[in-house]
Amino acid sequence: MYGRFLIYLFSFLTLLFTSEPSWAEKSQEIEIIVDGSGSMAGKMEGSTKLAIAKQSLAKIVNEIPPGSQVALRVYGQNFSVDEKEQSCQDSELIYPMGPIDSEVLTQKIQSIKAKAYTPIAFSLAEAGKDFLAKDNRFIMLVSDGIETCGGDPCQVARDIQTTGAPLVIHSIGFDVDEKAREQLVCIAEVSGGKYFDAKDAKGLFTSLQTIAKQELKPVEPMTQAELPLEEPQNEEPKFLAPPKKTRFGEWIRGGRYYEDAIPLKPGKYRIDHDLRQGEYDYFKISLNNGQKLRIQYTTQDEGSGCAGAAIHSKDRLKLLSNYIVYKSSTGETDLEVFDLEKAPVEFYVLIGSTCQGVQSKDTMLDIFIEDRFDGGSGQEAGPKLKKPLPIKPGKHEENWLQLKSDVDTFVVTGKPGKELHVKVLPESEIATLKFSLYNEDRERLLYAQAKNNGAVVKGKVLVSEDYPEIYIQVSGFNATKYSLKIQSREPKK
């Protein structure tokens, strides 16, 4: 669950005796950043993507919360592709931050053109200067592609959060590929915002409407009973008190980004510093096919209680994440690796949380790597008939289908003239297993499927002299541990 952003609060006495406006009178500041790069001239649904974006934005203007201050910035629209240097510095504030004038704002939206490059990082850095307030600040970013000027938009979004004035960025990927989606997801995550995937005109309008109606809302203030007393002036900043609950474990601190991620091994650890909202420690860890990475993190009984972890691929694509916001609680994130062409594979582990508050120093981490190999072999049985896992007749208790898409392929040498009996039993009562038997020419000899969830599935084939090797390919519905029993028997007469 994503946190919104940090609130800067005045002290209790200041609220009582100053004439600051009430919360209801305060409004948020919203900046819309629109992609004016050349790719927005691409065709979609009988129109251009830019025309669709203009139409959707014009409709959304009246759905922005009343009283909001609004700005409009466009990048990539003023120079040609032959003017890369200028285009990569082309980010124009065409409607400065101020009250909404629907007619003027709509005219500005309609004036946007699509021309050249995509300087997202530069635009975000410039947008950070457009805001007048220090809280309740939002960006709505609409882009149909990845940064093309060499910048790192995710890092810029992360850097903005360290200025002391949080800025929530909601990003919309309009008909984007996987690389662009990954970048836009990162921009949103590190700022406490949300990513929206818009594959067509309807998706774009729905995404904009959802942001306008649900996400652009000031965070509710604390009640007076929750407000801290005024701190004395001219003192060093105060941090969370050291946690009371401790245990043995190695102190660790991760890198600040992917490039300087710190190698991580199974063990017990404690984070040696506080992590602010959207700030992460970066680690890296290698896994083989058939291994499961499990990360447990336990919050302390003091502080905000925020803690969390995410696992990213080597290509920096988020695979899994989980965040908890309770004191004295334990959360878990895990990843199972199977059926990959090349192994070991390196993954990134990000420790931190997007919840509102600080992840306290001394958050406890337990890192486990569990072996889930097949056939007692110390290996993972992969999905390909050309690379089966050799096993012998007998009972093999521990085999794993790690997801419903997992496939295990074995090969066993039978005795010609005898029957090879195969029986597979799932541990899970909700899994339905199936298997196929093939000869060396990859001709399927038998297909069998369990009659119901949790049931055994079995079958037999006669082993010929020409094809003594039998290939067994097991799959099913739902992940499960299963036993595999292979027997060689005389045929019944």
315 within some domain: yes
If asked whether residues 460 and 362 sit together in one domain, one would say: no
Largest pairwise CA distance in the chain: 100
CB of 428 closer than 8 Å to CB of 454 = yes
Nearest alpha carbon to residue 27 among 166, 165, 137:
137
**63: region left, alpha or beta (phi > 0 left; psi from -120 to 50 alpha):** alpha
- Burial of residue 122 (number of CB atoms within 10 Å: 0-12, 13-18, 19+): buried
CB 220 within 8 A of CB 275: no
Instruction: State the first-to-last Cα distance of the chain, in angstroms, to the nearest integer.
Output: 64
Asked if 64 and 140 sit in the same domain, the reply is yes
Domain boundary among 340, 371, 402: 371
Q: For residues 398 and 317, state if they share a domain.
A: no
Q: Tally the C-alpha atoms within 13 A of residue 152's C-alpha that lie toward its C-beta.
A: 11
Contact at 8 Å (CB) between 422 and 485?
Answer: yes
158 and 258 both lie in a single domain: no
Same domain, yes or no: 351 and 447: no
State the pLDDT at residue 318.
82
317 shares its domain with 426: no
Determine, yes or no, domain membership for 10.
no
Tokens of 197: 């995937």
DSSP-derived pairing of the beta strands 262-263 and 281-287: parallel
Domain that holds residue 283: 250-371
- Based on the fold, state whether residues 33 and 87 are members of the same structural domain: yes
Q: Within this chain, do residues 89 and 156 fall inside the same structural domain, yes or no?
A: yes
Cβ atoms of 93 and 32 within 8 Å: the answer is: no
Q: Rounded to 5 degrees, what angle do the CA atoms 471, 398, 365 make? A: 130
Asked if 391 contacts 377 with a C-beta cutoff of 8 angstroms, the reply is: yes
Residue 190 lies in a domain: yes
Catalogue the long-range contacts made by 37-41 (C-beta closer than 8 Å, 24 or more residues apart): 37/75, 37/76, 37/114, 37/115, 37/116, 37/117, 37/118, 37/144, 37/145, 37/148, 38/76, 38/81, 38/114, 38/115, 38/116, 38/117, 39/114, 39/118, 39/144, 39/145, 40/114, 40/144, 41/114
Q: What is the CATH number of the domain that holds 407?
A: 2.60.120.380
The tokens for 378 are 């110390």
In a domain, 191, yes or no: yes
Residue 66 CB neighbours (<10 A): 7
pTM: 0.47
> Which one of 167, 194, 215 terminates a domain?
215
Angle, vertex CA 321, rays to CA 299 and CA 209, nearest 5: 115
Say if 237 falls within a structural domain.
no
Residue 202: half-sphere exposure toward Cβ, Cα within 13 Å: 0
Residue 72 and residue 208 in one domain:
yes
Q: How many structural domains does the chain have? A: 3
Strand intervals (E) in 100-245: 137-143, 168-174, 195-198
Q: Is residue 404 in a domain?
A: yes
pLDDT at 250: 81
In a domain, 6, yes or no: no
Are residues 184 and 48 located together in one domain of the fold?
A: yes
Between CA 50 and CA 53 the distance in angstroms is 5
Give the per-residue pLDDT at 220.
43
Together in a domain, 302 and 196:
no
Distance between CA atoms of residues 389 and 474, nearest Å? 12
Q: What is the DSSP string of 356-380?
A: SS-BPTT-EEEEEEEE--BTTTTB-
Q: What is the DSSP string of 32-51?
A: EEEE-SGGGGSEETTEEHHH
Q: In whole angstroms, how far apart are CA 16 and each of 23, 26, 226, 230, 285? A: 13, 17, 14, 12, 52
287 and 202, same structural domain? Answer: no
Give the domain-ending residue among 371, 405, 435. Answer: 371
**Residue 241 covered by a domain:** no
Tokens 């007393």 found at: 229
CATH of the domain at 99: 3.40.50.410
DSSP 225: T
Q: Which pLDDT tens digits describe the chain residue by residue (493 residues)?
A: 333 323 332 332 233 233 333 323 356 899 999 999 999 998 988 899 999 999 999 988 888 888 889 999 999 999 988 888 898 999 999 999 999 888 999 999 999 999 889 999 999 999 989 998 877 899 999 999 999 998 889 888 888 877 767 789 999 999 998 888 989 999 988 888 889 999 998 989 988 988 888 777 654 443 333 333 344 344 443 333 333 334 457 888 888 888 889 999 999 888 888 888 778 899 999 998 888 898 888 876 555 667 888 899 888 888 877 766 666 667 788 888 877 777 788 999 998 877 777 777 777 888 999 888 898 888 889 888 999 999 999 999 999 987 767 899 999 999 999 999 999 999 988 889 999 999 999 999 999 999 999 999 999 999 999 999 999 999 998 888 999 999 999 998 7
3-state class of 320 per DSSP? strand
Residue 408, pLDDT score: 93
Q: What are the residues whose beta carbons fall under 8 Å from the beta carbon of 492, sequence distance 6 or more?
A: none
